[in-house]
Amino acid sequence: MNGTAAIAINNLGVYYRTVEALHNISLEVLPGKVTGVFGPNGAGKSTLVKAMLGLIPVRVGTVLYDGQPLQNCLEKVAYVPQRSQIDWTYPVTVWDVVMMGRVRKTGWFRRFSTVSHRQGMEALAKVQMEAYKNRPIGQLSGGQQQRVFLARSLAQEADIFFFDEPFVGVDQKTENIIFNIFHELADLGKIILVINHDLGESITNFDELILLNKELVAVGDRKEVLQEENLYRAYGSKVTFFSEMSSHLAA
Partner 1 sequence: MLETLLEPLQYSFMQRSLIVAIVVGIICAVVGSYLMVQRLALLGDAISHSVLPGLAIAYLMGANIFVGAFVAGIISTIFINLIRTRSNIKEDTAMGIVFSAFFALGITLITTIQKDTKIDLNHFLFGNILGVTAADVRDTLIIAFIVISVVVLLYKELLFYTFDKLGAQAVGLPVNLLDLGLMMLIGLTIVASLKAVGVILVLSLLITPAATAYLLVERLHQVMFLGVAIAVTASIAGMYLSYFYNLPSGPAIVLVTSGIFILAFLFSPGQGVFTHPPSNSGQIAILKELKGLILANRR
| Contact between 103 and partner 1 per CB under 8 A | yes
Contacting residues for 204 by C-beta, under 8 A, at least 6 apart? 222, 242, 244
Q: Which is nearer to partner 1, 19 or 251 (CB)?
A: 19
With both helix axes pointing from N to C terminus, report the angle between 142-155 and 172-187 in degrees, rounded to the nearest 10. 20
| Contact between 108 and partner 1 per CB under 8 A | yes
- Residue 96 CB, shortest distance to partner 1, in Å, is 6
Q: Which of 20, 28, 66, 96 binds partner 1 (CB under 8 A)?
A: 96
Q: Which is nearer to partner 1, 112 or 241 (CB)?
A: 112
Contacting residues for 6 by C-beta, under 8 A, at least 6 apart? 28, 29, 30, 31, 65, 191
Of 113-172, binders to partner 1 (CB under 8 A) are 136, 152, 156, 162
Q: Are 169 and 137 in contact (CB under 8 A)?
A: no
| Contact between 99 and partner 1 per CB under 8 A | yes
| Contact between 64 and partner 1 per CB under 8 A | no
Q: Is 236 left (phi over 0), alpha (psi -120 to 50) or beta?
A: left
| Contact between 98 and partner 1 per CB under 8 A | no
Integer Cα distance of 175 and 167 in angstroms: 7
Provide φ and ψ at 141, rounded to 5°: -75, 165
| Contact between 109 and partner 1 per CB under 8 A | yes
Q: Which of 67, 91, 240, 248 binds partner 1 (CB under 8 A)?
A: 91
Tell me the β-bridge partners of 220.
209
Q: Which is nearer to partner 1, 153 or 230 (CB)?
A: 153
Q: Are 189 and 198 in contact (CB under 8 A)?
A: no
| Contact between 6 and partner 1 per CB under 8 A | no
The torsion defined by the Cα of 107, 87, 162 and 54, in degrees rounded to 10, comes to 70
Q: Which is nearer to partner 1, 190 or 222 (CB)?
A: 190
Q: Which of 112, 142, 175, 202 binds partner 1 (CB under 8 A)?
A: 112
Q: Which residues bind partner 1 (CB under 8 A)?
A: 50, 53, 55, 74-75, 77-81, 85-87, 90-93, 96-97, 99-100, 103-104, 106, 108-109, 112, 136, 152, 156, 162
